[in-house]
Amino acid sequence: MSSLKVEGGRPISGVVEVGGNKNAVLPMIAASILTDEDVVLRGVPDILDVESMLEIASSLGVSVEKSPGVVKLKADGPLRTTIPKALCGKVRASILFIGPLVAREGAATLWPPGGDVIGRRRLDAHFYGLSALGAVVDSFSYPFNLKASGIEGRDMFFDEASVTATENIMMAATLADGTTTIRNAAAEPHVQALALMLREMGAEVNGIGTNTLEIIGGRKLHGVDINVPGDHVEAASFLAMAAATGGGITIKGASQRDFWMTRRVFEKLGAPFEMDESGLHLPPGLNLKVEPDFGGAIPVVSDGPWPQFPSDMMSCSIVMATQANGSILFFEKMFEGRMYFVDRLIAMGANAVVCDPHRAIITGPSRLRGCEMSSPDIRAGMAMLIAALAADGESVIHNVDVIYRGYDSVVEKISALGACVERL
């Protein structure tokens, strides 16, 4: 089990380049099996979840070539249709292979997908969508076996705006006969990135960035050479880190269009940042102060489907709030396990009340003290790292491999920004 020793109390300041979007590159790897030609992805982050997805692709018969920041994939032969059980358990995105496999090979077998334990994460929309296209699910216990003699476009409505289900059905629909319409589709930046990649491969995908996607299928897709966009969650995590430690930071490689709601939340916490073509800019030495709602009411930060505030940013924002003057309520609507890490902040000296599995009230500023803790998931792990950097004294964070699943070269990046951190 990997650990980090962190010496807190140092402002995190400087310029940092974010890696490629974790949640975009994973479905982009799965999409490579929709064609028998070369797929080249550039700006690929060096993270454990990417390694797991490439292992799965290789196990299915995809040729994988890697160099720093670049992956070349080629699925030019018949593919195996069973995703190995051990590899399914490494990463939740393993489920993203079933749509392309059913569309191309007419079958797919999946064991329980892994990933962070942050609450119930339904798979219903995946099976609803694939069944609507013509796939048959022969069992609703593991392993799931899907078969299809052919798939046809359909008009469907998701009962939740599931990101991975939208991606899965969109990929499968590119090879289906006819037109598929997905209503109440997810529209997150990573969903848009996948849709744009499919367009570059020759698919016709309309409505990108909206909640209604139209995919006109039946075309033979070709290879592509494409850049993975910058990771907006990583960028926001570094902004929160700088704000919580009193530093100033410039973020390179992020797209301004991904941060409008994030900037509103940071404004509520007294940490406005500027956005322009050169990047995101947070000034140093901010006096973090909660902005009350009209009439002096306690403000609420709640997450939701895009373009609302991303659930992945709740944990880091909660840590930032411990350093702001005033009270604010965080309402995590999507996952009932996301708030469990707040107990670690309380142990560090945070003034926090966990109301229920979905809500916590943070009152600051609190003087955090270093402690020993263990990271439960990717985003909580980064939040604990921010708390350790803002705290007085030394902290030791265990199980940091989960942070490496989602953040590229995080130790090197924060060290370059002034952090005193050591791998144990």
- 239 and 215 within one domain: no
- 282 and 316 within one domain: yes
377 is catalytic: no
Domain that holds residue 270: 3-19+230-423
pLDDT value at position 280?
Answer: 97
- 265 and 160 within one domain: no
pLDDT value at position 140?
Answer: 66
List helix spans (H) across 70-147: 85-88, 98-105, 124-133
**Arithmetic mean of pLDDT, 113-134:** 77
- 170 and 61 within one domain: yes
Q: CA-to-CA distance for 302 and 319, rounded, in angstroms?
A: 15
Q: Which pLDDT band holds residue 89 (cuts at 50, 70, 90)?
A: confident
pLDDT value at position 334?
Answer: 80
Q: Which tokens hold the place of 316?
A: 């880091």
Query: Which residue, 203, 227, 251, sits at the end of a domain?
Result: 227
Q: How far is CA 138 from CA 83, 141, 146, in A?
A: 16, 9, 6
- 251 and 221 within one domain: no
- 279 and 214 within one domain: no
Query: Which residue, 182, 206, 227, sits at the end of a domain?
Result: 227
pLDDT value at position 119?
Answer: 44
Q: Which pLDDT band holds residue 121 (cuts at 50, 70, 90)?
A: low
pLDDT value at position 237?
Answer: 98
Higher pLDDT, 1 or 271: 271
Q: CA-to-CA distance for 325 and 336, rounded, in angstroms?
A: 27
- 298 and 363 within one domain: yes
Q: Which pLDDT band holds residue 117 (cuts at 50, 70, 90)?
A: very low
Query: Which residue, 212, 227, 242, sits at the end of a domain?
Result: 227
Q: Which pLDDT band holds residue 269 (cuts at 50, 70, 90)?
A: very high
For the chain, helix (H) and strand (E) counts, in that order, are 14, 23
Report the CATH number at residue 241.
3.65.10.10
DSSP assignment string, 261-290: HHHHHHHHTT---EEETTEEEE-SS---B-
Q: Is the model's pLDDT at 129 over the cut of 90?
A: yes
Q: Is the model's pLDDT at 182 over the cut of 90?
A: yes
Q: 205 - beta bridge partners?
A: 215
Residue-wise pLDDT for 155-164, tens only, equals: 999 999 999 9
Q: Is the model's pLDDT at 118 over the cut of 70?
A: no
Given 38, 46, 116, 293, which residue is catalytic? 116
* The amino acid at 136: V
Q: Which pLDDT band holds residue 337 (cuts at 50, 70, 90)?
A: confident
- 219 and 75 within one domain: yes
Q: CA-to-CA distance for 371 and 390, rounded, in angstroms?
A: 12
**Arithmetic mean of pLDDT, 191-207:** 98
Residue-wise pLDDT for 22-77, tens only, equals: 999 999 999 999 999 999 999 999 999 999 999 999 999 999 999 999 999 999 98
- 14 and 142 within one domain: no
Residue-wise pLDDT for 240-262, tens only, equals: 999 999 999 999 999 999 999 99
Total domains, the chain: 2
- 214 and 269 within one domain: no
- 239 and 189 within one domain: no
pLDDT value at position 336?
Answer: 76
- 52 and 10 within one domain: no
